[in-house]
Amino acid sequence: MAAFIRLILFLLIAEALFYLLLRVYLRSLRRERLEETWDQRHPAMPGNTPARREFVRRSMIGFDKTLKSRLLLLVFVLPNLAIMGIIYWVNWQ
């Protein structure tokens, strides 16, 4: 039983770490795309201006509610499903 609890604990830690890394990565991609959008719309204001920063900040507000951001929670589901699958195939087949 102790081993089982330890497994759950380590799995949760690994999943949380992976979730954070993926979240940072996805947000970084989104910001980059927003900056490019701004640069295309305002060719007269090149570079990292306060206006662009404000645009990116406001565009990022709803990011946690997007489908992509919610699908990220699968990080906490898929490995557990895989483990259950392994348990089934190893012990009940």
Partner 1 sequence: MHYLKVAVGVLFGIAVFLFLDYALPSKNTVRITNTYNRLTSVTPSNAIFYASDNTGTVENAQGQRDVRFIETVRPNGKVFVYRNEDTGWIWPPYFKYDSANLQAEATNLQSGRDNPQWVSVTAYGWRMAWLSTYPNAVSIDTLAGPDERPRNWAASIVCIVLLALLALFWRMWAQFQERGLSGWRRKP
- State the residues that interact with partner 1 by CB under 8 A: 3-4, 6-7, 21-22, 24-25, 27-29, 31-32, 50, 53, 57, 60, 83, 86-87, 89-93
* Shortest Å distance, C-beta 43 to partner 1: 22
* Shortest Å distance, C-beta 30 to partner 1: 9
C-beta of 62 vs 92, nearer to partner 1: 92
* Shortest Å distance, C-beta 28 to partner 1: 5
C-beta of 12 vs 87, nearer to partner 1: 87
C-alpha count within 13 angstroms, C-beta hemisphere, residue 68 = 11
DSSP 8-state secondary structure symbol assigned to residue 88: H
DSSP 8-state secondary structure symbol assigned to residue 57: H
- Look at residue 92 and give its three-state secondary structure: coil
What is the spatial distance between Cα 88 and Cα 25, in angstroms, rounded to a whole number?
34
- Amino acid found at 47: G
C-beta of 41 vs 54, nearer to partner 1: 54
